[in-house]
Amino acid sequence: MSRYATLLLLLKHMGFINGRVQFQKLIFLLEKNYHIKTEYDFIPFKFGPYCQVVQQDIQHLIDYGYIEHEEVEKTGSEVLHRYQITEYGEQYLLENDFGEIYDQVIQDLCYDFKNYSLRQLIEYVYDNYPEFTTHSQIKEEYFNLKPKQEDFTSADKLLESKPIITPSFVKWLDEEIKETTKKLEVSDVPIEEKADELLIDDLVIEMLDIAYEDVATKAQEISTKIMLESYGESGDINNKIYFILEILETLLSTLQEKDIIGIYTEFSNTKTNIQMLDELIALHRTSLKSDLVRLLFEFIEDVGFFLDSIDSIISL
């Protein structure tokens, strides 16, 4: 796979990357953790593993119009370099077949590290690859030796099996909910018989709370992107997303209180507003960038799995 495709696929699945250090570390981990031959040679440098060719290739893709580069001023004189794929970059990927396996591995990397802060990412690299910290100027601040993790699926293993799409956290939660409700034998009880004694384990409520936070985090990411891109005409999308979050929060309360009527009401209300959000996306789609549209549909999908999880508990 070409070096350019590697960088573009990484941006496609990450949505955006904040900073040169994050970009460098993710490419480094793609080769070290997932055994993808990136054709980049990393050396120990002042912030850990570094490859000058990565920066040169990024600049070339910016010049070609495949990557959008923005400099964001932070506190003091510090500048944050923000990167995201453009429509031309996505078209380049569509016109060239780089193999499903490579797309799958890079997607796997992004799912594993997308929610890492820069500090967490640096600490992970320093802990697992100490040989690349010998010239680091920040070694004392970040280096804390831990056992090397071996729980990443390499490209070699994926090539031996049929690639599958990595499940989201909410999909995993859905399976956990089903397993828990099976143990409680809730799904086999007709709703008329359990209206006054709905069996809901505290663990189920706790998992749903965690899932809600996951959905809320996605909503915040979308909101931030909308504000950064100044989508004035899509402010109604933001409003609808936060309204859906409020309904989900109420739904959790009614579930905890075992209020069957309230659960029915908020469950139906959520579905209605998800449909309205889908219509708003269709209305504004031509003015929205593809990565934002992808995030919006991921949000809708996660809310859908959230509702399916509740459905499996109370057999709506």
Residue 174 and residue 48 share a domain: no
Indicate if the pLDDT at residue 126 is higher than 80.
yes
**DSSP H or E run through 46:** none
Q: Domain end: 126, 159, 192, which one?
A: 159
Burial class (CB in 10 A: 0-12, 13-18, 19+), 306: buried
Dihedral sign (CA 311, 188, 178, 258) = positive
Residue 184 and residue 81 share a domain: no
Q: Which residues pair with 305 in a beta bridge?
A: none
Residue 263 and residue 132 share a domain: no
Token pair of 173 as six digits: 């939660």
Residue 298 near residue 218 (C-beta atoms within 8 A): yes
Residue 81 and residue 22 share a domain: yes
Tell whether 164 is covered by a domain. Answer: no
Residue 308 near residue 174 (C-beta atoms within 8 A): yes
Tell whether 155 is covered by a domain. Answer: yes
Q: Which residues pair with 80 in a beta bridge?
A: 72
Domain at 191, CATH number = 1.20.140
User: What pLDDT is stored for residue 316 in this prediction?
Assistant: 42
Tell whether 177 is covered by a domain. Answer: yes
CA 66 to chain centre: 22
pLDDT category, 200, cuts 50, 70, 90?
A: low
Residue 155 and residue 178 share a domain: no
User: What pLDDT is stored for residue 194 in this prediction?
Assistant: 41
Q: Which residues pair with 46 in a beta bridge?
A: 48
Question: Which segment of 166-180, 260-274, 287-301 scores lowest on mean pLDDT?
Answer: 166-180
Residue 36 near residue 105 (C-beta atoms within 8 A): yes
Mean pLDDT (the chain) is: 78
Q: How far apart, in whole angstroms, are the C-alpha atoms of residue 220 and residue 64? A: 31
Tell whether 138 is covered by a domain. Answer: yes
Query: What is the three-class DSSP state of 67?
Result: strand
| Structural domain range at position 155 | 3-159
Residue 180 and residue 141 share a domain: no
Residue 23 near residue 47 (C-beta atoms within 8 A): no
Instruction: Please tell me the total count of domains within the chain.
Output: 2
Q: Average pLDDT, stretch 166-171?
A: 48
> Of 136, 134, 154, 13, nearest to 84 (Cα)?
13
The H-assigned helical ranges of the chain are 3-14, 20-32, 52-64, 87-95, 100-113, 118-128, 139-142, 155-159, 169-184, 191-194, 202-228, 235-256, 260-284, 290-314
pLDDT category, 166, cuts 50, 70, 90?
A: very low
Exposure letters 132-157 (e unless 16+ CB within 10 A, then b): bbeebeeeeebbeeeeeeeeebebee
Residue 235's identity, in one-letter code, is G
User: What pLDDT is stored for residue 101 in this prediction?
Assistant: 77
pLDDT category, 58, cuts 50, 70, 90?
A: very high
Tell whether 262 is covered by a domain. Answer: yes
Q: Average pLDDT, stretch 107-115?
A: 87
Backbone angles phi, psi at 45, to 5 degrees: -140, -170
User: What pLDDT is stored for residue 165 in this prediction?
Assistant: 39
What is the number of alpha carbons within 13 Å of residue 305 lying toward its C-beta?
A: 23
Token pair of 242 as six digits: 């936060």
Q: Domain end: 140, 159, 178, which one?
A: 159
Residue 189 and residue 66 share a domain: no
Residue 183 and residue 97 share a domain: no
Q: Domain end: 112, 132, 159, which one?
A: 159
